[in-house]
């Protein structure tokens, strides 16, 4: 089976944007991604749209909105996908399946979310749809409270790692200064991130404001093509492997600190790709909360359970460390517009592999890992990307 390649992309800044809705955000990136790929809209065989929505807007049916800006796409099959915070990766993987099955040669993937138009209280409630409401709807702090509870359990089992969480936050904010798309391009420093203050209060103890990703607007798009088509285009990023593993939704039915589905996805990815973590030059991972990044170190195999703090203390994940993690600044600095996040993570890796990441660049990056998860490690996607041309 021929592998599909990423051949073009586009990315808005993330933040509180003036764009009134998802339609306008998608319009900003869809045509630009096609132009970057060097293909015309008339060549697109399928469209895959990632938008969570679930109450951010009364207007749904986002799959039909891409053609409003690109009328030539009006009759192209278009499908919307939703998989909580992994919505963008779900759209990418569906497009890859479409191409690799031979049903089409070129597909457009667009991920977007407009989150800032709602009051924070409403946004928090909408985000709880990524948890198991029957058991978790009353957790204080909304979805942040879900991860606050995970952090509490982790601390009870392995010790208080608040300092390490602050160092993760400081790292990602420091990296994000170099990211032109980032919502928060400011180096807060470890001391600020580590202290509880009026400017950095607890959101869901033990998580402080600097431990939580931002409410964001934004869009990202990429174009995927079959290998033969990719050969005639200017750039091509191939998937050495891509793995998707789910876990049970309720936290009560699993160890919430194990991220077992994420671990399985990483194990399968390394085995299928025939690589070890030492072969990777960087990883863009899903740091919706700093406790998530800490546990992800363990899930990907950088440390045994409970020892993720060693990755922090030894500087392994720093930009100049053995395995740089989130050189883009991650969700913590870049922002987290739900439907766009999975697409953005892949684009950040593509920029590195094309040596186009500017001041974010990891020297001689040849192999990049991407981890995107929906919910509290429920839908887990791992991609390992390499430059084809």
Q: Does residue 210 have a pLDDT over 70?
A: yes
Q: Residue range 82-89: average pLDDT?
A: 98
Instruction: Confirm if 281 and 175 have CB atoms less than 8 A apart.
Output: no
Q: Residue range 330-334: average pLDDT?
A: 98
Alpha carbons 290 and 287: distance in angstroms, whole number: 6
Q: Residue range 285-295: average pLDDT?
A: 98
Instruction: Confirm if 53 and 60 have CB atoms less than 8 A apart.
Output: yes
pLDDT range class, residue 348, cuts 50, 70, 90:
very high
Alpha carbons 232 and 115: distance in angstroms, whole number: 38
Q: Does residue 349 have a pLDDT over 80?
A: yes
Q: Residue range 56-79: average pLDDT?
A: 97
Alpha carbons 97 and 314: distance in angstroms, whole number: 40
Which runs of consecutive H residues, i.e. helices, occur in 210-278?
227-230, 260-273
Instruction: Confirm if 84 and 378 have CB atoms less than 8 A apart.
Output: yes
How many CB atoms are located within 10 Å of the residue 130 CB?
Answer: 26
Q: Does residue 132 have a pLDDT over 90?
A: yes
Alpha carbons 169 and 195: distance in angstroms, whole number: 12
Q: Rounded to 5 degrees, what are φ and ψ at 202?
A: -65, 135
Q: How confident is the model over 221-241, as pLDDT tens digits?
A: 999 999 999 999 999 999 999
Q: How confident is the model over 238-263, as pLDDT tens digits?
A: 999 999 999 999 999 999 999 999 99
pLDDT at 103: 97
pLDDT range class, residue 142, cuts 50, 70, 90:
confident
pLDDT range class, residue 140, cuts 50, 70, 90:
confident
From residue 13, alpha-carbon distances to 216, 245, 357 in Å are 10, 30, 15
pLDDT at 1: 58
Q: Does residue 360 have a pLDDT over 90?
A: yes
User: Considering the chain, what percentage of its residues have pLDDT values greater than 90?
Assistant: 98
User: Considering the chain, what percentage of its residues have pLDDT values greater than 70?
Assistant: 99
Q: Residue range 268-278: average pLDDT?
A: 98
From residue 187, alpha-carbon distances to 40, 120, 169, 170, 191 in Å are 40, 25, 10, 7, 11
Partner residues linked to 81 by β-bridges? 50
CATH of domain 4-118+215-230: 3.40.47.10
Average pLDDT of the residues of the chain: 97
Q: Which two tokens stand for residue 163?
A: 């300092």
pLDDT at 141: 86
């Amino acid at each position: 089976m021929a592998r599909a390649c990423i051949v073009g992309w586009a990315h808005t800044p993330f933040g509180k944007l003036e764009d009134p809705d998802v339609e306008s955000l998608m319009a900003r990136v869809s045509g630009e991604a096609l132009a970057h790929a060097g293909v015309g809209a008339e060549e697109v065989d399928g469209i895959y749209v990632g938008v969570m929505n679930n109450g951010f807007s009364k207007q749904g049916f986002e799959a039909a909105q891409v053609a409003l800006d690109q009328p030539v796409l009006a009759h192209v099959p278009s499908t919307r996908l939703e998989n909580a915070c992994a919505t963008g990766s779900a759209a990418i993987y569906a497009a890859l399946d479409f191409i690799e099955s031979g049903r089409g040669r070129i597909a457009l993937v667009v991920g977007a979310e407009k989150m800032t138009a709602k009051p924070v209280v409403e946004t928090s409630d909408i985000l709880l749809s990524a948890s198991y409401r029957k058991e978790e709807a009353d957790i204080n702090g909304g979805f942040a409270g879900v991860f606050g509870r995970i952090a509490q359990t982790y601390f009870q089992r392995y010790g208080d790692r608040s300092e390490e969480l602050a160092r993760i936050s400081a790292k990602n904010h420091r990296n994000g200064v170099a990211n032109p798309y980032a919502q928060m391009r400011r180096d807060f420093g470890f001391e600020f991130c580590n202290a509880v203050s009026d400017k950095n209060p607890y959101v869901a103890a033990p998580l402080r404001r600097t431990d939580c990703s931002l409410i964001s607007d934004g869009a990202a798009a990429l174009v995927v093509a079959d290998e033969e088509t990719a050969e005639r285009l200017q750039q091509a990023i191939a998937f050495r492997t891509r793995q998707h593993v789910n876990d049970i939704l309720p936290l009560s039915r699993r160890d919430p600190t194990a991220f077992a589905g994420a671990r399985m996805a990483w194990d399968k990815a390394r085995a299928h790709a025939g690589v070890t973590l030492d072969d990777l030059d960087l990883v863009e991972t899903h740091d919706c909360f700093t406790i998530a990044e800490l546990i992800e170190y363990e899930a990907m195999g950088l440390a045994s359970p409970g020892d993720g703090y060693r990755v922090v203390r030894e500087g392994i994940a720093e930009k100049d460390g053995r395995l740089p993690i989130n050189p883009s600044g991650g969700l913590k600095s870049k922002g987290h517009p739900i439907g766009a996040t999975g697409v953005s993570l892949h684009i950040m890796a593509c920029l590195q592999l094309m040596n186009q990441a500017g001041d974010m660049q990891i020297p001689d990056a040849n192999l990049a890992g991407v981890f995107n998860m929906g919910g509290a490690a429920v839908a887990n996607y791992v991609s390992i990307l390499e430059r084809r041309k």
